[in-house]
Amino acid sequence: METIGVGVIGCGGMGRSLATSAHAVEGIEVVCVSDVQEALSEKLAADLDASYTLDYHELLADDQIRAVLIASPPFMHSPMAVDAANAGKHVFSEKPMAPTLDACDAMIAAAEENGVKLTIGLVCRYHATHSKVREIVQSGELGAPACMMVHRIGGPWRSGYSHTPWRLERAKSGGSLMEINAHEIDFMRWTCGDVASVYAAGGQYGPDKSDYPDVVLASLQFENGAVGLLHSSHVSAVGGYGGRVDCEGGSIYFPQIWGGDATIQIKPFEGEGRQIKIADITVPPPVQEEIRVFADAIRNDTSPPITGLDGRAAAEIALAAYQSAETGQSVPLPL
């Protein structure tokens, strides 16, 4: 198997996760890591027997590196991805793709112009619950989807997060609907199809001094006629992550995405239902898997399963929800 050398830009929690996961994938070598905080770069490099640099441009100049994994703050994704593509490197960017559509478009254009692969880290497609729910819906066993509801709610940012200035600025982080709920938005679109319009309501209710809503209820009108509802919140003392899909011929209910004895319940209108214990669904480690398929796309010169257009679509839906919450009007897509 051809070994692919990769560089990692951003050595915080997510960068470390990507780097250690890539290190565990056969046929990938982590050559160099980069972060402006030397302690983070040095520690991660030592753990992976890699080199490090404080200037990611030096990483991009390394001929051993064919691809980069970008885990910087969201507002830096686009300039770093464009620099990487212009250097001839394939690009894996963490979600959200970027806080603006212009920035997303710059990433897509740079990848196309330089003939490199671009993928976005929408890793929930590789998790057991998300992938199984989508598989059941797409199989057609319960008929076409009619309504999909997903909630991902919790309390205020942990202190370490809320003390990170860029995280509280929508222009830099993309706000909760991008930095966190890019996953849920992508899950709903992946399951039910493209979105035609968005109507949302929300506001700032909690103690975090962000400049974006910390509660949003976003209603999605899918092009196929189905409807969806995303509940995003940082003000819930009783958190949760789950949902349901009601189809023409029955329902899929997943009150918990993972943990404990969480199950997926499948109940048709006619006949017996069944349950699938989520712990019994075997999937590869999700972060390793998203990196492995990216490497396979490079080796085989094929399109990654998750494209730049997928990342852009999640950003566009989030932006439409913000716009709707501000104006009180339904927002048609495309923006």
How would residue 103 be classed by pLDDT, with cut points 50, 70 and 90? very high
Question: How far is 248 from 109, CA to CA, in rounded Å?
Answer: 40
The rounded percent of the chain whose pLDDT value lies above 90 is 93
The answer, yes or no, to whether residue 163 has pLDDT greater than 70, is no
Map tokens 């729910």 to a residue. 133
User: How many helices and strands (H and E) does the chain possess?
Assistant: 12, 15
User: Percent of the chain, pLDDT > 70?
Assistant: 99
Q: pLDDT grade, residue 160 (50/70/90)?
A: low
Q: What pLDDT is stored for residue 51 in this prediction? A: 98
- ∠ CA 3-17-232, nearest 5°, is 130
Average pLDDT over residues 250-277: 95
Average pLDDT, the chain: 96
CATH superfamily of the domain spanning 124-284+316-332: Dihydrodipicolinate Reductase; domain 2 (3.30.360.10)
Edge-to-edge order in the sheet of strand 145-153? 274-277, 263-268, 250-254, 240-247, 145-153, 227-233, 215-222, 195-203, 331-332
CA 321 centroid distance within chain: 17
**Cβ atoms within 10 Å of 140's Cβ, excluding its own:** 11
Give start-end residues of each CATH 3.40.50.720 domain in the chain: 4-123+286-306
Q: What is the pLDDT of residue 158?
A: 72
Domain with CATH 3.30.360.10 in the chain: 124-284+316-332
The CATH number assigned to the domain with range 4-123+286-306 reads 3.40.50.720
Answer yes or no: is pLDDT of 5 > 90. Answer: yes
Q: How do residues 196-217 score in pLDDT, each as one tens digit? A: 999 999 999 988 889 999 999 9
Does the pLDDT of residue 222 top 60, yes or no? yes
pLDDT tens figures, 169-186: 999 999 999 999 999 999
Angle at 300 between CA 295 and CA 301, to 5 degrees: 95
> Rounded to an integer, what is the distance from CA 136 to the centroid of its chain?
21
What is the per-residue pLDDT across 79-88, written as a single tens digit (0 to 9) for each? 999 999 999 9
- pLDDT tens digits for range 16-32: 999 999 999 999 999 99
* C-beta neighbour count of 94 within 10 angstroms: 25
As a whole number, mean pLDDT of residues 107-127 equals 98
Burial of 52 (0-12, 13-18, 19+ CB in 10 A): buried
Both tokens assigned to 302: 């094929």
The confidence score (pLDDT) of residue 64 equals 98
Give the tens place of pLDDT for each residue, 281-326: 999 999 999 999 999 999 999 999 999 999 999 999 999 999 999 9
Question: Which pLDDT band holds residue 164 (cuts at 50, 70, 90)?
Answer: confident
